[in-house]
Every structure is written in C-alpha cells, then in structure tokens.
Amino acid sequence: KNQVEQSPQSLIILEGKNCTLQCNYTVSPFSNLRWYKQDTGRGPVSLTIMTFSENTKSNGRYTATLDADTKQSSLHITASQLSDSASYICVVSPYNGAGNMLTFGGGTRLMVKP
C-alpha cells in the first residue's frame, strides 16, 4: 500500500528560527513529490514540485530536498515568520501518468511564536 509518513506531527518554533520537516514515502515508482502549505480551514497551496530526478528546489524561504534512493524528502524553512504557521503536507504522485491517485501525508502542524 502506498504511504506517505510525515514527521514531526507538530512543531513549535520561535520567529526567526529555521526548521526542517520530514517526509518518508513508500510510493514506487513515483512521478513527483509535492509540498503544500495549508492554513487552517483553507485549501492547500503548492510550495514546490520535484520530479524523481531533482534533488532540491527552492521557493523563497522554503527549500525542499529529495532523495529518491531512500525515499525521503525534507522541507526546510529559513528565518521563520508568524505567517508560516500552518500545516505542511507532503504529497506523492505515483508513476501512472494519471495524476488521479495522489497520496497525501498527514501533515506537520507548524506554529511560529513571537
């Protein structure tokens, strides 16, 4: 069964600090891995998309890494801001070309405190 596991489940950091969120997956073969940011009660918003051949991708203060051999990804947030408080969801797309069976992780709930 395709699974995506994220850790930690929740995290509290002080404003200005960095943090790293982890994602392990069993989806194989896979097409791409996505990180989404979801504010409470809102829809997810895409941060990064990486294919299996990419190792890293940045979007402002967000940097995602991917190790396809170990099936691990991380999302690093630099110089955190209060607005970074949200859930971060890792999503893996299986390599079937359909894009209709994305597997979502349970998310990491990040809280940034002043």
Partner 1 sequence: ETGVTQSPTHLIKTRGQQVTLRCSSQSGHNTVSWYQQALGQGPQFIFQYYREEENGRGNFPPRFSGLQFPNYSSELNVNALELDDSALYLCASSPEAGDNEQFFGPGTRLTVL
The residues that touch partner 1, with contacts defined as CB under 8 A, are 4, 31-32, 34, 36, 41-46, 49, 89, 93, 97-102, 104-107, 109
Minimum CB distance to partner 1, residue 47 (Å): 11
Minimum CB distance to partner 1, residue 9 (Å): 9
Q: What is the CA radius of gyration of the chain?
A: 14
Nearer to partner 1, 2 or 78 (CB): 2
Minimum CB distance to partner 1, residue 83 (Å): 16
Nearer to partner 1, 15 or 57 (CB): 57
Q: Which of 110, 61, 64, 105 is closest to 86 using CA atoms?
A: 110
Residue corresponding to tokens 């409470």: 40
